[in-house]
Structures are given as C-alpha cells and as structure tokens.
Amino acid sequence: GRQARDVMFSRMFGSRKPGEEGKEKDLAHLHIPSIPETSISTDYIESILTKVKEANPKEGKGTEKSEKGASAEGLRSFLASELEMAKKDFADDKLFLAADRMGKLRLFVEARGKANTENRDANQSREEDKESNKMAEQLQKAWDEVVEGDKTYQAIVSYEVRARKFLRILENDEGWSLSHKGNRLVSHWREETDTDTYSFRVAGIVDTCVLNIIPLLLETDLYPTWFPLMKLAEDLASPSRFHKVVRSMLKMPYPLLGREAMIDGRGWDVMEHNRIVISSMSVESHPDVKIPPCPKDRVRVDIKCGGFLLVPIDDNSTHVTVMFNLNPKVPYLPSSIMNFFLRHVVNQIHSRMERYSKFKPGSPYLERMANKAELYAYLEKRYQETRQKKAA
C-alpha cells in the first residue's frame, strides 16, 4: 500500500528530518522562467542603423552609398564585426548570447526587406523610400555574402534549434503521465504520438553545489561510476572543452539486449539566465570521428533529443532536470519494461548524482579536476561572477 511505497521511495531517495541540513525543498515553489525568444525593438533598429553608419569606410572613389551615408562596404564591415563577436561568444560556449546577437540581426534584415516589399507594392516613389529600398537590397546582399554561408553561423543556428527543442519539451506539460511525485523529485513519461519514441523527464533538487555536479556530467567516460545501469561510456571525440561524442551502453533486464547510443553532447554557459544547458542527440555520422558499428550483443537506440538543465539555487543545492526522447528499438514496450526503466534509471538519477558528487578521497573525479585545474578554475570563476551579479 501507500506505506510500503513510501518506504521504497525512502530507500531509493533517502529521507531527512525537518530542520536537518539539506532539508526538503518543495519543487512546487520553484519557478524556472523560459529563456526569452529573440525579438527586436524600435530602439534596437535605431541603434543598428547608427552602427552601420559608423562602420562606413572613408568615402572615396567607387564608394556606393545606400542610405544617408551607409555604404555597401559599410554594411559588410558591420555584419562581419557582429559575426566575429558572435563567434567569440560561441567559442566561449555562450550559445544563447551568440544566437541572440545574430538572431536580432537576422530579424533586422528581414524587417528591412519587408518594408522594401511594402514600398514596392505601394508604388512608393519618394526619394526617402528609394534610398530605404536600396539599403534593404544591399543589406540582404551583404548578409548573404558575409553571414548566411558562414560555417560558424550555421553551427550557432543548428545548436540553438537543438537546445531550444530540448528546453521546450521540458517546459511543455501536456500529455505527460506521472511516475513519481514528492517534495524532492517529480518524474514523468510520455509516449509520443505518431512516432516510435518515448520521453522521460525527471526534475528535482540535488543538495550539492552545481560545481560538484558539473564534473559528473563533463567527465563522460566516468558515467558508469554513478549513472544508473550504465555499463559503458567511451569518449570517441572531444571537439571542444564542453563538446563530446560518446558511446554509451545501458544494461537491460533479461531477455533484452543492452541498449547502446552514439551521442553528440554539448554543454552551454547560460549563466546570464542562471542556468547551464547540456543538450544531446544520437548521431549516425560525425565530422570529428568515425562512428563504429554496433556489436551483435547490443541494440543501438536513437535519442532524438535529450540532456540536462542545471539551475543553481545556492551554494549547497541545485535544481536538476533530465529529459530524454528516444526510440528504444522495442516493437512493443510492455509496462514491466517501462516500470523497470523508470524505477531503476529515471527515478535514481538525482539520488545517485547527489551521492557521487560528494567526492571522497581517492575519487577519480578529484584526480580529473586536478589534471584539468585551469578548466575547473574557469568554471568556478563563472559561477562566482554570476553570484556577485545576482547579489548586486
């Protein structure tokens, strides 16, 4: 009955008496706002027009002006400058800053093009409208030449789409079936309509600093030390400091074969919104590594979208949400297998994360953190910067 279930969950997740260190925190009182979608204002448009004019080269022979001092060369110079700043943010793993900068510019270019079309449709012939139309055409041309085909810009767009898809699934509460609900943990599952995929989502409080959770997620080859039922985790490539291509395998109950996934995962610094986003998905090929074939004693699953969302609460607690949308490659998923996965994987992630993030002497994570002192010092610095801004 209910008492037996309470005992089971107490064993799985631990229990604390009120008033003790690490006391219960009610998840219902924790609201995590969405990361705003990119938009532009009139003030932004005016500021961009000013920057365009300031980016103009000195006038000379052959300099073709497009609007009140703005030249085609000035437009290209301005867009190149903005793209370089976005590339710097992207290289610093600040995806949403880079995407917002370029997204605003894209909306600006589109707005000027729309105004140009409206003027033409209205057969506007005023000199002012002619100049504005000319600028819109040259702005679109400059965008196509400088930005649209740039590989880094394309990567920014692609990764933002992926990260926002992950976040939207987290934020959408429609169609989820409740697996477990408590003060510290809420988990759900959902069978996606018209697909062969299932989604699993678990959110809860981990009583440790986010800086202690990051090593668990960053040192991907050590996942078997803490992630439930994970038998194998092999780093295949590390294209950048927070970007990994990983081969992982979960043990499954008899008679099912183990489930393997080839995952491309990347962590993003979104501390301007007090969070860290780690988004991942399965890959069949990758530019940085040859994907090996799946062994006969395993089944390779397809993770459409997944990852972790970390939101620091204070120095001793972090709100962690985990979500995976995958095709388990089972023709029919019986309730017994669903319950097994929920009980032994999904509903244990937070408790094991809390347990193994309290690094004991001899922990392999302490050795990794010492060997990567510069990287972990950077993460500490970013965390402290955010705390200071929040306190100001």
Looking at the chain, list the stretches that DSSP marks H as alpha helix, in order from N- to C-terminal side: 2-13, 42-54, 72-91, 95-121, 127-143, 151-171, 210-218, 335-344, 349-356, 364-371, 373-391
Q: Residue 169 burial by CB count (10 A; 0-12/13-18/19+): exposed, middle or buried?
A: buried
pLDDT in tens, 195-242: 888 899 999 999 999 999 999 999 999 999 999 999 999 999 999 999
How many Å apart are CA 7 and CA 168, to the nearest integer?
34
Q: What is the mean pLDDT of the chain?
A: 84
Domain ranges of the chain: 42-55+69-161, 176-391
Please give the pLDDT value at position 34.
82
Q: What is the mean pLDDT of residues 363-383?
A: 96
User: Residue 259: enclosing H or E segment and its boundaries?
Assistant: strand 258-270
Buried residues in 96-112 as b, exposed as e (16+ CB within 10 A): bbbbbbbbbbbebbeeb
Three-class DSSP category at 380 = helix
Please give the pLDDT value at position 239.
94
Three-class DSSP category at 232 = strand
How many Å apart are CA 340 and CA 174, to the nearest integer?
23
The DSSP letter of residue 147 is I
- What is the token pair recorded at 13? 């997740």
pLDDT in tens, 116-166: 565 555 555 555 556 667 778 888 999 999 999 999 999 999 999 999 999
CB 318 within 8 A of CB 311: yes
How many Å apart are CA 109 and CA 114, to the nearest integer?
9
Residue of higher predicted confidence among 256 and 105: 105
User: Which bin fits 26, alpha (ψ -120 to 50), beta or left (φ > 0)?
Assistant: beta
Three-class DSSP category at 115 = helix
Among the listed residues 289, 312, 318, 291, the one whose alpha carbon sits nearest the alpha carbon of residue 302: 291
Q: What percent of the chain has pLDDT over 70?
A: 82
Residue 266 has pLDDT above 50, yes or no: yes
Question: Which amino acid appears at position 231 of this protein?
Answer: K
Phi then psi for residue 292, to 5 deg, are -75, 155
Three-class DSSP category at 337 = helix
pLDDT in tens, 269-283: 999 999 999 999 999
Superfamily for the 176-391 domain: START domain (3.30.530.20)
Q: Binning pLDDT at 50, 70 and 90, where does residue 24 land?
A: very low
How many Å apart are CA 70 and CA 86, to the nearest integer?
22
How many Å apart are CA 99 and CA 13, to the nearest integer?
38
CB 330 within 8 A of CB 256: yes
The DSSP letter of residue 287 is T
